[in-house]
Structures are given as C-alpha cells and as structure tokens.
Amino acid sequence: MKTAFLLLMISAFAFAAKGTDEKAVRAAVTKFVDAAHAGDEATLNSLLGDGLIYAHSNAKIETKAQCVAALVKSKPHFEMKPHSTVQMYGTSAVVHGELVAHGMTDGKATTTALDYVMVWVKAGNGWKMVARHTAKLPVT
C-alpha cells in the first residue's frame, strides 16, 4: 500500500512539473516573439542558445549572432496561430505550430505563412532556443 501511494505521489509530482515546464516554454516562445518584434538584442541573446541553428524557409541557416543581428534589424512581427503543441522530453521541449511572418524585404512589406518547429532546452532556471526551422505553407 505504501509503495502504491509513493508511486502515485511521484507520478503526480512529475505531471505537475511537466505542466509547469510546458507553461515556462510557452512563456519563453512569447518572450522571443515579443523581443523579435521590438528588436530587443539583450532579450534575444538571453533566449537563444550559443549553438543555435536557425533555419529559414528559404534554406538560409543562421548562427546565433547572425540571427540576433537580423531580428534586431528587421523587427519582424510573428503572428502566432493558436493551438501550437509543446512536447516535453525531460529538460528539452519541441514546439510546433503555424505563424504568419510580417516583415520587410528590400523595402517592401512581406507576409509569409509558415509552419515552424522550435527546440528549447532548460538552462538553469530558464529555457533557451537551440534550434528553429520553418517551412512555407501553401497560399490558400
């Protein structure tokens, strides 16, 4: 009886921790989106892992430094679609969803619908994005 109770308590604690981590990852994604739109270099640097792989839908790959510089310069607005998913894997999380990116290219406003995958890892008390990949969605 004591063993069953102990297992139940451990499972409940693990489930609660998973929910807390998922909320923290979702908050980090929101913070990233807001920092990108504001061109907030310090916040972007704090949210992105040093070994970041940032893959764009046009196959361009950026390092952390290149990514931060581009986001600070362009200040894109990412309109995140509801119902993104967060899959927790211990101290890692995979976030998947859709967004519409509003930005400027060669002085012209652009709007691009994208599917995205982000990988976040727990680092100390926070979360850092270590990979991001987007693919263009068909125009409907």
pLDDT score recorded for residue 18: 55
**Tokens representing 52?**
């970041």
pLDDT score recorded for residue 19: 78
What is the CATH classification number for the domain harbouring 117? 3.10.450.50
pLDDT score recorded for residue 94: 98
pLDDT score recorded for residue 103: 82
pLDDT score recorded for residue 11: 44
Give yes or no for a contact between 60 and 48, defined as CB atoms under 8 angstroms apart: no
Regions of the chain short of the pLDDT cut 50: 5-17
pLDDT score recorded for residue 8: 42
Range of the domain at 120: 2-136
pLDDT score recorded for residue 107: 84
pLDDT score recorded for residue 91: 96
- Domain count for the chain: 1
Question: Is pTM beyond 0.95 here?
Answer: no
Question: Which residues on neighbouring strands pair with residue 96, listed in sequence order?
Answer: 85, 117
pLDDT score recorded for residue 7: 44
Give yes or no for a contact between 21 and 93, defined as CB atoms under 8 angstroms apart: yes
pLDDT score recorded for residue 136: 96
pLDDT score recorded for residue 125: 86
Q: At a CB cut-off of 8 Å and minimum separation 6, what does 140 contact?
A: none
